[in-house]
Amino acid sequence: MDGKSCSSNTAGKPIRCKAAIARKPGEPLVIEEVIVAPPKHGEVRIKIICTSLCHSDVTLWKLKDPPANFPTILGHEAVGVVESVGEGVHEVVEGDTVIPIFLPDCGECIDCLSEKSNLCTKFPFKLSPWMEREETSRFTDANGETLYHFLSISSFSEYTVVDIVHLVKTDPTIPTNRACLLGCGISTGVGAALKTAKVEAGTTIAIFGLGGIGLAVAEGSRLCGAKRIIGVDLNQDKCELGKKFGVTDFVNPGNCGDKTVSQVIIEMTGGGADYCFECVGMKSVVHEAYSSCRKGWGKLVMLGYDHPDTMLSFNSFELLSSGKSITGSIFGGLKPKSDIRILEKRYMDKELRLDEFVTHEVDFKDINTAFDLMTEGKSLRCVIWMNK
Ligand code: NAD
Ligand code: ZN
Ligand code: ZN
């Protein structure tokens, strides 16, 4: 069954299909039959073709308290085909290939119209378990129990409902197992270098955490012409892997003896890196990354997602007198509706690399393997095929 041929029969009706449900924190997902309600005003129901796993899925899967909610359908890096649209949706039609993006882009508010921001005011980004406009769910399980949405996407389901402010039409000629990566991690890392930091040619970069996000920062920095890219990771295997993505030097925090990572980086660079990117999501790493920035102009870009209650602390005089700056970067500062197309074109023009990030591919029934591979540090991106 494909999205196009079944859609005329299913539009306006509930669809029964399979979804991987996270019932309890940290417990393996269970593939069950679910009922996906038709899209309401401003919503689109899509058939997922493939989806990949990002560390944010793993973080929220392990979390015992809100913003995690159970039972839920995780997943937010995906490509799908429009099955049917709700009232008021004109931007996409049945049969269109789309990439859902967790960050809303209404295209109308002051922020969406500004080149400076990717934080929509009309639909503020929040970790909500509901649909964007109505604060209800479109998913129920076979017993009629409500299932929570995740990051406005919930792509670990054969069908899902997504608000139009979260959808980007994609070039259907791009292989789906590459296009799905643009839905979160790889776009985020590349965007952080290109748009948030605006890395200049000849500069020195330090990347803390060489997973999908960190190595995408390396890819973005390479595109910007960075001279030196220092990778920091506890996993020694990332040393060889990093070289494939242009990482020129590797620091394993476990091998620094009595020195801190920042002392090592300051020595290596004669004063610190021009740009440091935190791609782990850990308070201590944020502080090390800040300390590794060069005084006067060094910039720390925070990308990792730590527990939402985590507080950071910086010495006031040090911050005042260092000349360094700190910024967070959600979705790499990219504007979903316009910037994804630019990355797609750069991939098709063979400038931006995506293929190298896909280290594993599994069938939907083996979705828990994707979680194992990521938690064991063996994968960058594992693509999960819904119906291969
Ligand atoms: P990943 O699991 O693929 O990579 C994390 C890497 O960090 C691994 O290589 C691991 O070995 C390394 N690491 C762990 N602890 C470390 C430490 N103390 N010091 C150095 N390295 C360490 O994860 P990912 O998919 O690349 O995601 C990375 C982070 O980015 C996560 O926190 C994720 O939630 C976040 N994220 C943020 C955004 C955003 O919009 N800002 C988007 C996607 C993901
Ligand atoms: Zn907006
Ligand atoms: Zn993500």
**What is the mean pLDDT of the segment spanning 156-185?**
97
pLDDT of residue 6 exceeding 80: no
Axis-axis angle for helices 237-244, 212-224 (nearest 10): 40
pLDDT of residue 1 exceeding 50: no
Which DSSP string corresponds to 15-63? EEEEEEEB-STTSPPEEEEEEEPPP-TTEEEEEEEEEE--HHHHHHHH-
**What is the mean pLDDT of the segment spanning 111-140?**
96
Q: In which band, very low, low, confident or very high, does the pLDDT at 388 lie, cut at 50, 70 and 90?
A: confident
Closest of 118, 123, 145 to residue 135, by C-alpha: 123
Residues with CB under 6 Å of ligand 1 are 54-56, 59, 184-185, 188, 208-214, 232-235, 238, 253, 279-282, 285, 303-305, 329-331, 374, 377
Q: Which residue has the tokens 């960058």?
A: 380
Continuous H helices in 204-360: 212-224, 237-244, 261-269, 283-291, 316-322, 336-348
**What is the mean pLDDT of the segment spanning 51-76?**
96
The Å distance, Cα 140 to ligand 1 centre, comes to 32
The Å distance, Cα 305 to ligand 1 centre, comes to 8
State the DSSP H helix or E strand holding residue 188, giving kind and residue range, or none if neither.
Answer: helix 185-191
Q: Which residue has the tokens 């899967």?
A: 61
The residue whose CB lies within 8 Å of the most ligand 1 atoms, and thus the one to mutate among 305, 310, 381, is 305
The Å distance, Cα 312 to ligand 2 centre, comes to 29
